[in-house]
């Protein structure tokens, strides 16, 4: 039985990963300060004798004797990470430093949840891991983008200096159950708006694009990377790309909604075109996202329908 630490374990991705790793017979510790995470996401785990929840911040040093560390802790939706940008930056940078120190002390393998945001408003399309990115270091997204870029730098320096076993996953837009009602990202916003026949809020003219990956596919990719002998970085996501306006129309149709489109100002530095090139992860890890957008959106809509009833 492996002992596995998930920082940010009560969050959207962390809670799915915790459930999957418990089901596979591991001992799982979730560390979370519940800033955007929610204990309700861990309901299927809390009764398991091989599960432990610790309420703490990754900004402060911590110690657990573990075999693997998934470092997921950080607010990830633009409204949440922009609410307290200094805290977001500290979470990324002090968070990875503390995770790296733990990996150094215990010899644990470490996987970092990095992000497509390291590419910024990419000038390369689709984005490959070799692209260095186009990030505004002074803008409203920088607390997240630069925090995650700095974390990648620290990981590579710890590997070179201290020979630790660490891996970098660059996670592209992911969606599914356990997203917050007030998450603010496009998939959850559009589903919630469509379910209640409220206006669908399109930022800008909706010609910007994103590519959406269902949570179970992403979790599979994270585990494949942790089990591999590779360091990465690896893009993990689904290359199924939509213009935001087309995505809004698709959600309205799929959910039989009467919602209308409204156009709101585009936030600054909003990336124009985002689509992962996942050929590296396919070839080296056997990563192969399978859940269709239709299937994934239906499952997510069911989740939000239940949540709104509660
Ligand atoms: N977006 C939108 N309406 C919303 C929320 C987001 O049009 O209610 C747009 C946003 O401007 C961006 C895209 O959808 O172009 C994806 O935004 P999200 O916040 O989901 O994540 P991002 O990929 O920008 O981090």
Atom of ligand 1 nearest to the CA of 79: 19
In a domain, 117, yes or no: yes
3-state SS of 10-74 is CCHHHHHHHHHHHHCCCEEEEEECCCCCCHHHHHHHHCCCCEEEEECCCCCCCCCCCCEEEECCC
The dihedral through the CA atoms of 203, 129, 111, 95 has a sign that is: negative
Q: Position of tokens 């609410």?
A: 83
CATH number of 66's domain: 3.40.50.720
Q: What is the pLDDT of residue 52?
A: 98
In a domain, 49, yes or no: yes
Tokens of 62: 């911590």
Q: Residue 273: name the closest of 139, 121, 160 by CA.
A: 121
State which residues of the chain have pLDDT below 70: none
Active site residue 203: no
The best mutation among 186, 191, 201, 263 to test binding of ligand 1, ranked by most ligand atoms within 8 Å of the C-beta, falls on: 186
How far apart (Å, rounded) are the C-alpha atoms in residues 167 and 156?
A: 9
Q: What is the DSSP string of 199-251?
A: PEEEETTS--EEE-EEHHHHHHHHHHHHHSS----EEES---EEEHHHHHHHH
If you measure from the C-alpha of residue 255 to the centroid of ligand 1, how many angstroms do you get, rounded to a whole number?
20
| Ligand 1 contact, 228 CB (< 6 A) | no
H or E element at residue 263: strand 261-264
Q: Is residue 248 part of a domain?
A: no
**258 within some domain:** no
Please, what is the Cα angle at 119 between 167 and 274, to 5 degrees? Answer: 110
Q: Ligand 1, closest atom to CA 117? A: 25
Domain span at residue 222 reads 3-176+212-240+271-290
Residue 232 domain-assigned (yes or no): yes
Place of tokens 């186009």: 134
Q: Is the residue at 136 inside a domain?
A: yes
Per-residue tokens: 306: 């239940």
d(CA 178, CA 61): 27
Model-level pTM?
0.98
| Phi, psi for 115 (deg, rounded to 5) | -155, 155
pLDDT at 310: 80
In this structure, the residue with its CA closest to atom 13 of ligand 1 is 186
Residue 190's pLDDT is what?
98
CA pair distance 132, 144, nearest whole angstrom: 16
| 246 part of a folded domain | no
d(C-alpha 287, C-alpha 221), whole Å: 6
Predicted local distance difference test score (pLDDT) of residue 36: 98
Q: Is the CB of 78 under 6 A from ligand 1?
A: yes
Q: What is the pLDDT of residue 101?
A: 98
All residues at 6 or more sequence positions from 132 whose CB lies less than 8 Å from its CB, including other chains: none
In a domain, residue 125? The reply is yes
Q: How many domains does the chain have?
A: 1
Q: In 3D, which of 114, 106, 89 has the Cα closest to residue 171? A: 114
């Amino acid at each position: 039985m492996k002992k596995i630490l998930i920082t940010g374990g009560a969050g959207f991705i962390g809670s799915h990963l915790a459930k999957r790793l418990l089901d596979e017979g591991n001992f799982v510790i979730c560390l979370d300060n519940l800033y955007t995470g929610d204990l309700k996401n861990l309901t299927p785990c809390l009764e398991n004798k091989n599960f432990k929840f610790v309420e703490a911040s990754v900004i402060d040093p911590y110690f657990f004797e573990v075999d693997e560390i998934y470092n997921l802790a950080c607010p990830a939706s633009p409204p949440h990470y922009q609410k307290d940008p200094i805290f977001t930056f500290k979470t990324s940078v002090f968070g990875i430093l503390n995770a790296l120190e733990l990996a150094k002390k215990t010899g644990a393998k470490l996987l970092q949840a990095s992000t497509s945001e390291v590419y910024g408003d990419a000038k390369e399309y689709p984005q490959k891991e070799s692209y260095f990115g186009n990030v505004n270091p002074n803008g409203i997204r920088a607390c997240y983008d630069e925090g995650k870029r700095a974390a990648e730098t620290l990981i590579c320096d710890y590997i070179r200096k201290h020979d630790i076993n660490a891996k970098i996953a660059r996670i592209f837009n992911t969606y599914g159950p356990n997203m917050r009602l007030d998450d603010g990202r496009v998939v959850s916003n559009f589903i919630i708006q469509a379910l209640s026949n409220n206006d669908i809020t399109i930022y800008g003219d909706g010609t910007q694009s994103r590519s959406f990956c269902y949570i179970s596919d992403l979790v599979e990719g994270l585990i494949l990377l942790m089990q591999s002998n590779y360091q990465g970085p690896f893009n993990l996501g689904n290359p199924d790309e939509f213009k935001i306006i087309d995505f809004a129309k698709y959600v309205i149709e799929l959910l039989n909604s009467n919602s209308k489109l409204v156009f709101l100002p585009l936030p600054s530095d909003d990336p124009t075109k985002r689509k992962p090139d996942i050929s590296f992860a396919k070839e080296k890890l056997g990563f192969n996202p399978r859940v269709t957008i239709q299937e994934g959106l239906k499952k997510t809509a069911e989740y939000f329908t239940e949540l709104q009833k509660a």
